[in-house]
Amino acid sequence: MSNGSTVTEFLLLGFSDVRELQILHFLVFLVIYLAGLMGNLLIISAVALDHHLHTPMYFFLGNLSILDLGAISVTIPKSMANSLLDTRSISYHACVAQVFLFVLFSSTDFALLTVMAYDRYMAICRPLHYEQVMNRRACVHMVTGAWLSGIVYAALHTENTFWFPFCQANDINQFFCEIPQLLRLACSDSYRSELGVMAFGAVLAFNCFAFILVSYVQIFKAVLRIPSEQGRHKAFSTCLPHLAVISLFLSTGCIANLKPTSSAPSGLDLALSILYTIVPPVMNPVLYSMRNRELKEALKKLFKWRLLSRK
């Protein structure tokens, strides 16, 4: 990191200067955070405690819930604390950590969704080879690869963002440390340097998207060839939640990357940032539990076990 930075802290964009609205923002974010926390923890607990869910698909789902838990914990608590304490400040090092962790969880999330698409492809299109290919060791290697790729990509983005000193004030027009807003504050034109990292990320993202798209084309072809309606329903019930999560992630991610960086605070920018930072991690547990019978049964057992343990 550059030692020439003249900024020791940044000022995040507050949702309001009115004290009552600040408290309201705190309460709304608290409810959203607790909902995301509870949903993801329930899935992690169900996958860990129910031996029926000790399969590759649910192993990946448990890791996805860990990533979603981390993603909402990076941005929401700091924004809640600022509203409650009526402050906007975030330290330089806390901002660095926030950028690194947010990019880490987001990029690893996408890599893991790609792995999960491959898992569904093998389960439906190559069922006879599924257990041989998707063995425990292979699954651990895939998840480890997803995490390592996320760490490398996050390190590149973070180093590149904070390499240049900041001297264009310290106001970030966002409720968390967003990379485009930080680059706007750099003393020199850092977009050229960032362009290389963004191009690298775009190539990786496009390859992952193409892989997911091809996988699901093959999956739907295979599902439509299943003669029994019950078999088609079972296949769709395991694929549609994953497809819904991918669609939510990609649509909100496109909004985040295609929206122009504004030099003045905007209510629309705040709404869009909430859409892509908070909605996917909170909604993913709901999307996965809606049509998944095995997960529903595991959650029912978990609730019954908790109730009986209290008696």
Pairing status of strand 89-91 against strand 9-12: antiparallel
3-12 residue pLDDT tens: 445 678 898 8
pTM metric for this prediction:
0.86
Query: In the predicted model, what is the mean pLDDT of residues 11-28?
Result: 87
- Residue ranges of the domains in the chain? 9-310
| Burial class of 203 by CB neighbour count within 10 A (0 to 12, 13 to 18, 19+) | exposed
pLDDT at 57 over 50: yes
DSSP for 92-111?
HHHHHHHHHHHHHHHHHHHH
- Residue 238 neighbours by CB under 8 Å, 6+ apart: 57, 120, 123, 292
- What is 9-310's CATH topology? Rhopdopsin 7-helix transmembrane proteins (1.20.1070)
Query: In the predicted model, what is the mean pLDDT of residues 180-199?
Result: 71
Q: Give the model's pLDDT for residue 259.
A: 63
Query: In the predicted model, what is the mean pLDDT of residues 1-22?
Result: 75
* Residue 76 banded pLDDT, cuts 50, 70, 90: very high
**186 three-state secondary structure:** strand
Query: Are 33 and 76 a contacting pair, CB within 8 Å?
Result: yes
Q: Give the model's pLDDT for residue 263.
A: 56
pLDDT at 156 over 60: yes
Query: Are 64 and 116 a contacting pair, CB within 8 Å?
Result: yes
Strand partners, 11: 89, 171
Question: What is the Cα 122 distance to its own chain's centre?
Answer: 24
Query: In the predicted model, what is the mean pLDDT of residues 219-229?
Result: 84
Q: Give the model's pLDDT for residue 238.
A: 73
Max CA pair span of the chain: 68
**What separation in angstroms does the CA of 300 have from each of 183, 305, 309?**
48, 9, 14
d(CA 249, CA 116): 14
Q: What is the mean pLDDT of the chain?
A: 83
**What separation in angstroms does the CA of 92 have from each of 9, 11, 12, 166, 167?**
5, 10, 12, 10, 13
pLDDT at 80 over 70: yes
Query: In the predicted model, what is the mean pLDDT of residues 209-230?
Result: 86
